[in-house]
Structure 1
Amino acid sequence: MAPSSTQEIPISGHTVVIESSNKRKKPDSSDPTIYDAYHKHFVSDGLPSTTEGWLSRARAVAEIFSVDAAARDIENKSPKAEVALLKSSGLLKVLGPKEYGGGGETWETGYKVIREVAKGDGSLGMLPLAENFIEGNLFVGGAVNPRDNDLSITDAGDHLVFDGFKNFNTGGVISDLTVLEGVYAGTEHHIFAFVRTDQPGIQFQYNWNNVGLRLTESGSVKISQVQVPWSDALGWSTITRLPDLKVLAIPFASLLLPTIQLVFSNFYLGIAQGSLDFASKYTTKSTRAWPFGGDNKEKPTEEFYILERYGNFFAHLRAAETLADRAGKEIADIYGKYGANRKVTERERGEAAEWVASTKIVTTDTALRVTAGVFEVTGSRATGKTVGLDRFWRDVRTHTLHDPVAYKNRELGEYVLLDRVPEPTWYT
């Protein structure tokens, strides 16, 4: 069932309990045909062949998204059109092997692509985080949340049965495939599997109405008797019905979480950079100089405190970007080094994870500071709903609560003081 809330109201000596559901009706979707001209252009050009070409493609997509991002945030329609544009642009293929029709780029490039798209629209910048199937150009949503233990998996002979509930399912409503995750009955082991989204057993609750990331369609989903062949259980042996230790030993298995954590960091960074760019255009065009400061200027762009704030924000974003790029190189290098023999040492994995943790801390702090601080240099009229400057802060504030950054600070403290590298967990 959908999340609900109850309220007790005393009436004439009696208590009446009113229960209200947060579930909303299935939302309207944006129309993919609005981007027809761009679809044709991207398809005609084909996939970029260089790293700079991929970044240029990401910037082009971000520019398209930025034009009406504020209006789309207000309308809150499922971004069917925008996902279609991500597909036709080829951005979902950037990391895929070239032999399967992908871009063949490293995570270092992938992180920068995410950052660029997030500048245009934070909600849509999060969507390329999803896995994709290269040849079919499929978009994958994720019903994966290790804190939810409401999805059970049972053995039914030649297949598994997934049954239960997930509070969050990022991009599920607009996906081709959904990755399910749950606990295998009678064990502590988790099983992941890709399934077709369009099936009766996957029932979206359409209850995503949060303060930020409104277009990610990350609401809850009910999973009812979804059957998955044992051969589709990722990392599991079809013979022993146990986790395949050879598969679990590959770098991707132990590096998956820091890899994704760095995705988040670049996502935050891109949103903050987008907010500063948006604010600077607004300040130049619409902000009025303050007439009671004692050192009055005719233009806001001549005022000391406005120039000082923009300079300070820019410096911190530039520092965060440099750190994010360094961490991205660390991740890309370790994949490149160990991709052949499929092993990675605890120390090297931990060192890379601490670069990621450092980036997560800095981008979280900086993005929250910048996306809130830009209002100081734009003025009260910039808080207007149709202006849309608030969407940057709302998106960052929403996702930075994904896992408390305070624990990343503690983790780094242990690394500095005790030379202790983090053990792999769901969030490290």
Structure 2
Amino acid sequence: MTQTIHKQAAHLATIIGSDAEALDVARTLAQAFAREAAQRDAQRRAPYEELTRFSQSGLWGITVPREFGGAGVSSATLAEVVALISAADGSLGQIPQNHYYTLEVIRVQGSEAQKRDLFARALAGERFGNALVERRSATASERTMQLVPDGEGAFRISGEKFYATGALYAQWIPTAVVGEDGNAYLVIVARDAQGVEVIDDWSGFGQRGTASGTVKFDNVRVAADQVLLLADPHQPRTTIKPYAQLIHAAIDQGLARGAHDATRAFVTTQSRPWIEANVERAAHDPLTISEFGRLAVRLEAADALVERAADQLDAARVDPQPGKVAEAVVAVAEARALTTEIALAASTKLFELAGTRAAAGELDLDRYWRNARVHTLHDPVRWKIAAVGDYYLNGRLPTQSGTT
């Protein structure tokens, strides 16, 4: 594989050896990332320094299997790591989502040589972004970019992708294409390859730091060892998509926790003299206490569903029988449904319980709602709820829907 490395590469990443260590590192980083999260959001400041620290911490390599030098952490641990970071800074929590997705594609579909090379890069601190979705396609899962043969052992790709979260910050841009056989493939393209242009045109009002903009490919040449099968409609479903969806659930879970914690902090610890009396009353007001309790219960329920889904997903990853994979898909859909609801509810309730100062922008508390509102639109949760209902009512297994 090409040895070109983008100048933002992290070279001396720590190797994390266990689930417990991964969680400890994530908690420490979350505390650090939370300190200037409001300023980064308000200023639309790209988190280059934070991402360098994040990837060098070793957390971006924790899903690499043990036989390739990683910790091979459980899906529950990965979800908790993502939730911890997302609670501190929603953008930083979402940026590595496609990185972990790519590592799962490599685990499931990669050759031994590809696994050795690409897993080693992840362990070294190199980051995988994404260029999966096409702006003008009918659905988010539809691809039209072609993988065109270019002599023996090489291909060319041309086209434009959108919602390319993390591509601006990455050394590698995994790109979804369609082969001559009609199958979907993932091409691992070097960020600095000739013909690649990353455009920072993301203008969303939430998740501002994700840089989910545009990537253009102009006759980019890729080697055969940079190409992995992504999906074959004639083969049994894999764990790749529910794995990606679980990470999205964890992002929403973290956003809900962040809003919940911000609400508690606001109504209990505000120190400005002119509002102290009102805050004291708010912290002991029965209605405020009741509403805060309702949120806490739903958040605990979402946490439980995420953990349950992660356990079922791991069972399917070890033994990817169709029935187990389908059960994992349903469990992840259930978790996504509730994490979507609690992320929106917690961030909305923050306005109600904190009052007008939450909406005035002075404390940038509105970022929790903006982040939750934008991220929960990633793919429609209403279809997940319908799929769950169809499964329990009619015994119909979910289709291969749901994107990264």
Does 1:312 pair with 2:294?
yes
8 A contact 1:165–1:220 mirrored in 2:
yes
CA gap of 1:386–1:64, structure 2 versus 1, over 3 A, is: farther
Q: What are the equivalent positions in structure 2 for 1:340-359 lying under 5 Å apart?
A: 344-359=320-335
How far did 1:76 drift? 1.3
Does 1:176 pair with 2:160?
no
8 A contact 2:98–2:244 mirrored in 1:
no
Aligned residue number for residue 138 of structure 1: 126
Aligned residue number for residue 261 of structure 2: 277
SS in 2 for 1:134: helix
Counterpart Cα distance in 1 of 2:92 and 2:362: 19
Task: Name the aligned partner's letter for residue 184 of structure 2.
Answer: H
Question: In the TM superposition, what whole-angstrom CA distance separates every residue of 1:299-347 from its partner, at most 9, and x where no partner exists?
Answer: 32111111111111111101110111111111112223x2xxxxx3322
8 A contact 2:16–2:70 mirrored in 1:
no
Aligned residue number for residue 397 of structure 2: 421
Match of 1:328 among 306, 310, 313: 310
How far did 1:372 drift? 0.9
SS in 1 for 2:392: helix
Gaps of 5+ in 1: 1-30, 33-38, 237-241, 292-296, 339-343
Counterpart Cα distance in 1 of 2:280 and 2:300: 30
Aligned residue number for residue 376 of structure 2: 400
How far did 1:52 drift? 2.5
Match of 1:53 among 21, 26, 45: 21
Counterpart Cα distance in 1 of 2:87 and 2:291: 20
Higher helix share: 2
8 A contact 1:289–1:303 mirrored in 2:
no
8 A contact 1:183–1:191 mirrored in 2:
yes
Match of 1:211 among 205, 209, 233: 205
Counterpart Cα distance in 1 of 2:155 and 2:88: 41
Higher strand share: 1
Equivalent residues, number: 366
Task: Name the aligned partner's letter for residue 174 of structure 1.
Answer: Y
SS in 1 for 2:350: helix
Question: In the TM superposition, what whole-angstrom CA distance separates every residue of 1:208-252 from its partner, at most 9, and x where no partner exists?
Answer: 01111111111011111111112321039xxxxx9798xx66xxx
SS in 1 for 2:147: strand
8 A contact 2:94–2:251 mirrored in 1:
yes
Task: Name the aligned partner's letter for residue 57 of structure 1.
Answer: V
Counterpart Cα distance in 1 of 2:225 and 2:325: 29
Question: In the TM superposition, what whole-angstrom CA distance separates every residue of 1:191-214 from its partner, at most 9, and x where no partner exists?
Answer: 211111013311122210111111
Counterpart Cα distance in 2 of 1:161 and 1:47: 35
8 A contact 1:107–1:328 mirrored in 2:
yes
Match of 1:90 among 50, 58, 74: 58
Counterpart Cα distance in 1 of 2:226 and 2:58: 26
SS in 1 for 2:186: strand
Counterpart Cα distance in 2 of 1:409 and 1:65: 33
Counterpart Cα distance in 2 of 1:290 and 1:97: 54
Deviates more, 1:150-159 or 1:365-374: 150-159
CA gap of 1:76–1:235, structure 2 versus 1, over 3 A, is: same
Deviates more, 1:299-308 or 1:131-140: 131-140
CA gap of 1:316–1:243, structure 2 versus 1, over 3 A, is: closer
Counterpart Cα distance in 2 of 1:138 and 1:244: 31
Aligned residue number for residue 182 of structure 2: 188
Deviates more, 1:254-263 or 1:276-285: 276-285
Percent identity of paired positions between Structure 1 and Structure 2: 27
8 A contact 2:166–2:212 mirrored in 1:
yes
- Larger CA Rg, structure 1 vs 2: 1
Counterpart Cα distance in 2 of 1:60 and 1:135: 20
Gaps of 5+ in 2: 1-7, 104-120, 134-139
Counterpart Cα distance in 2 of 1:315 and 1:115: 17
Q: Which has the higher contact order (CA 8 A, sep 6+)?
A: 2
SS in 2 for 1:54: helix
Task: Name the aligned partner's letter for residue 328 of structure 1.
Answer: A
Task: Name the aligned partner's letter for residue 37 of structure 2.
Answer: A
8 A contact 1:100–1:134 mirrored in 2:
no
Counterpart Cα distance in 1 of 2:402 and 2:286: 46
Counterpart Cα distance in 2 of 1:103 and 1:140: 18
Aligned residue number for residue 72 of structure 1: 40
Aligned residue number for residue 160 of structure 2: 165
Counterpart Cα distance in 2 of 1:58 and 1:197: 27
Does 1:200 pair with 2:168?
no
Which structure 1 residue ranges, 4+ long, deviate > 6 Å from structure 2?
Answer: 242-245
